[in-house]
Amino acid sequence: MGKKIFFITGTDTDAGKTFVTRGLLRAANQRGLKTQALKPVSAGCQRVDGALRNDDALDLMAVMNTELSYEQMNPVAAALPASPHIALVREEKRITMERLAGFCRGALMKPADFVLVEGAGGWRVPLNDREMMSELPKILNIPVILVVGVRLGCLNHARLTAEAIINDGVKLAGWVANCLNPEMIAYDENIQTLHSLIPAPCLGEVPFLADGLPEQIASYFDLSTVL
């Protein structure tokens, strides 16, 4: 098996990208693969010993089983919990997509079998006043895994995001259903509809897990279609 690299995006900011990414990493770990994760851009960071650290990035680092420095894993960080293009400007930081892709290429040179690059927010989140985060997987030439936050309204968000990914010329490798509302009306019917709306294989259906550990989340995935 050659090195597998995927970009993780979501139907919205709180669709559960990091939650699902942790589970996917653990599932790959359990297969004996060398795993790695990148969080190229993060906002909503805290200062730890004078350096900005993002909880989502730290959570991913705790699950992956290869070594990367924090700066390689999360090269662009902002304290303000806002869209990257707003948070970075507020902190007088400017980043271009080409520079961001360069950071990623450097980290992706490290040995690994299975690598997940987690985006920020949804597919069309701006990086700056000209470029969107959706351009990163296209520049890196890597396929996308879509995390669908399953709740009322997810059908529209999922279909629009899938269409945008495909129309951008990026391969949609698969999707994950992540239940956000344990009391959702017509849950099963919505899952069936998602299968018909998204032209890619479903890698797993994760039920509502209030305190999901990576081992729990991993048990709901089938990675055979992407490995």
Q: Is 39 a known active-site residue?
A: yes
Domain chopping of the chain, boundaries: 4-218
CATH class of the domain defined by 4-218: alpha beta
The pLDDT-based confidence of 210 (bands split at 50, 70, 90) is: confident
Catalytic residue chosen out of the listed positions 4, 39, 93, 171: 39
Give the CA count within 13 Å in the CB-facing half-sphere of 24.
37
Average confidence (pLDDT) over 122-134 = 96
- Kindly report the CA angle at 73 between 121 and 2, in degrees rounded to 5? 95
Q: What is the pLDDT of residues 35-80, one digit of tens each?
A: 999 999 999 999 998 899 999 999 999 999 999 999 999 999 999 9
Strand-pair category, 51-53 with 76-78: unpaired
